[in-house]
A and B are shown apart, each in its own frame.
Chain A
Amino acid sequence: MGMMKRQVLALALTIAAIAIPAMARAQIRIDISKGATAQPIAVSGFKNLGGDDDHAISGAFDKILMRDLKLSSYFRIIAPKSYIENPDSSGYDIGQFNFADWSSLGADFLVKGAITRHGNAVTVEALLFDVAQQRRMMGKKFSGDPQDVGEMARRFADAILLAATGIRGPFDTKLAYVSTRGGRFKEIYTSWLDGGALFRVTDNPTINLFPSFDRNAQHLLYLSYKTYSPELYLVDLSQQVETRIPATLGQAVGGTLTPDGRIVAGFQRGGRTNLYLLDLSGNEIRALTDNGAINVSPSACGDGSSFTFTSDRGGTPQVYVGTLDGGDAHRVTFAGSYNTAPAFSPDCKKIAYESRQPGGFQIFVINADGSGARQLTQSGSNEAPTWSPDGRYIAYSSGRGARSRILLMRALDGYVIGPLTEGESNDTSPSWSGWLGD
Chain B
Amino acid sequence: MIRVHHGRDGWVTRAGGWGCVAAMGVLVMGLALGGCSSKKPAGAGANGLNGNGMNENGMNGTNGSSLSGMQNGTLGQNQQGPLSDIHFGYNDSAIQAQDSEVLKANAAWLTNHPQSRVQIEGHCDDRGSEEYNIALGARRAQAAKDYLATLGIGADRMSTISYGKELPLCSDETDDCWAQNRRDHFAVSQ
> What is A's interface to B at a CB cutoff of 8 Å?
1-5, 182, 185-186, 189, 195, 197-207, 209-210, 224-230, 233, 235, 240-244, 246-247, 251, 253-254, 266, 268, 270-273, 294-297, 310, 312, 316-317, 338, 340-341, 354, 356, 361, 383-384, 400-402, 422, 428-429
Contacts and interface: CB of A to CB of B under 8 A. Distances in A.
B131 A266 contact: yes
B138 A228 contact: no
A242 B131 contact: no
B82 interface: no
Interface string B28-51: 100000000101101000111111
Interface in B1-59: 2-16, 24, 27-28, 37, 39-40, 42, 46-56, 59
Contact of A204 (B24, B46, B132, B141): B46
A46 B53 CA distance: 54
A341 B129 contact: yes
Chief secondary structure at chain B's binding surface: loop
Given A207-B67, A244-B16, A253-B134, A202 B9 contact: yes
Contacts of B161: 229-230, 251
B54 A400 contact: no
A2 B10 CA distance: 12
B67 A209 contact: no
Contacts of A251: 138, 160-162
B181 interface: no
Contact of A203 (B15, B37, B52): B37
B131 A203 contact: no
29 contacts: A2-B24, A199-B4, A200-B6, A203-B39, A205-B71, A206-B47, A206-B67, A207-B67, A207-B166, A207-B167, A209-B130, A228-B55, A228-B61, A228-B65, A229-B56, A230-B162, A240-B10, A241-B11, A243-B14, A244-B50, A247-B56, A254-B134, A270-B142, A273-B138, A316-B91, A317-B91, A341-B131, A341-B132, A428-B130
Contacts of B128: 317, 338, 340, 356, 361
A297 B2 CA distance: 31
A187 to B, nearest CB: 9
Contacts of B12: 240-242
A197 B135 CA distance: 34
A224 B135 contact: no
B163 to A, nearest CB: 7
B106 interface: no
B83 interface: no
Given A244-B16, A251-B162, A400-B173, 7 more contacts: A227-B48, A243-B14, A251-B160, A271-B141, A296-B134, A297-B132, A310-B129
A271 B132 contact: no
A198 B11 contact: no
Given A199-B4, A230-B162, A310 B132 contact: yes
B139 interface: yes
B5 A197 contact: yes
Contacts of A402: 171
A226 B40 CA distance: 13
A395 to B, nearest CB: 16
B148 interface: no
A294 B132 contact: yes
A398 B27 CA distance: 32
Interface string B73-109: 0000000000000000001010000000000000000
Nearest to B63: A228
Contacts of A241: 11-14
Contact of B135 (A198, A205, A294): A294
A199 B24 CA distance: 14
A204 B9 contact: yes
A253 B138 contact: yes
B59 to A, nearest CB: 7
Contact of A198 (B3, B129, B160): B3
Contacts of A273: 135, 138
Nearest to B40: A205
B48 A266 contact: no
B131 A296 contact: yes
A364 to B, nearest CB: 13
A244 B132 contact: no
A422 B2 CA distance: 9
A335 B158 CA distance: 39
A102 to B, nearest CB: 33
B135 A296 contact: yes
Contacts of B60: 228
A240 B28 CA distance: 11
A1 B173 contact: no
Contacts of A354: 129
B111 to A, nearest CB: 23
Given A204-B48, A229-B55, A244-B14, A294 B129 contact: no
